[in-house]
Amino acid sequence: MNNQKLISASKTMQLVLWVMLVALFLMVIIPWAFPTTGLGKFLLSIQNFNNFMDTYHKNIDDFMSNLRPISRLFGIIASIITVLPLVIGIKIMLNVADNYKNGQVFTLNNAKSYRLLGVIYLIEALLLKPLSDIFFTLCATFNNPVGQRTIAFGFTLGNMTAIFFAIILIMIGHVMVVGQKMNEEQQFTV
């Protein structure tokens, strides 16, 4: 009975993850292909681009319709960097869910997957988030005259929270690896 619940939950998780993957792809494409539409502006706001717009420009429609190709490229790069950890995390969790469906629950592979998730989100908090901020500020200010262009990044409570949960995932993965090794040793003990 519990095995059926795990299989069902894994299938549901895979469906949700695939929907998220498609949404992330669209989140990168739509705002830069259709920047002045309501959907484009909404998707940019999810990526926190509005924070940069509020600081450097008052009218997002005017700004987005006058973007030079290099500024648009900076924005696309920032969007890709923003969603990259989630895309990688989704790929990892799709594999884990597939393992769960096949009855492979407490395996070394799954333990390493959780640890890898933690490492990815630690890198995101320490490196990728500030890097996406840099590219978003370049996008928002590159059209400005020389001397009024900005490169900025920040470290917020959101980064600290991500670091905290990344450490938890790394520790869970580590404990699962140790548990798996102990389980293997017990199986060979007579």
Domain locations in the chain? 2-187
Give residue-wise pLDDT tens across range 127-143.
999 999 999 999 888 88
Give residue-wise pLDDT tens across range 3-44.
899 999 999 999 999 999 999 999 999 999 988 888 988 898
pTM assigned to the model = 0.87
Q: According to the model, what pLDDT value does residue 54 have?
A: 67
Give residue-wise pLDDT tens across range 40-78.
888 988 888 877 776 666 777 777 878 889 989 999 999
Give residue-wise pLDDT tens across range 93-119.
999 999 999 989 889 999 999 999 999
DSSP per-residue codes, the chain: -HHHHHHHHHHHHHHHHHHHHHHHHHHHHHHHHSTTSHHHHHHHHHTTHHHHHHHH-S-HHHHHHT--HHHHHHHHHHHHHHHHHHHHHHHHHHHHHHHHHTT--S-HHHHHHHHHHHHHHHHIIIIIHHHHHHHHHHHHHTTSPTTS--------HHHHHHHHHHHHHHHHHHHHHHHHHHHHHHHT--
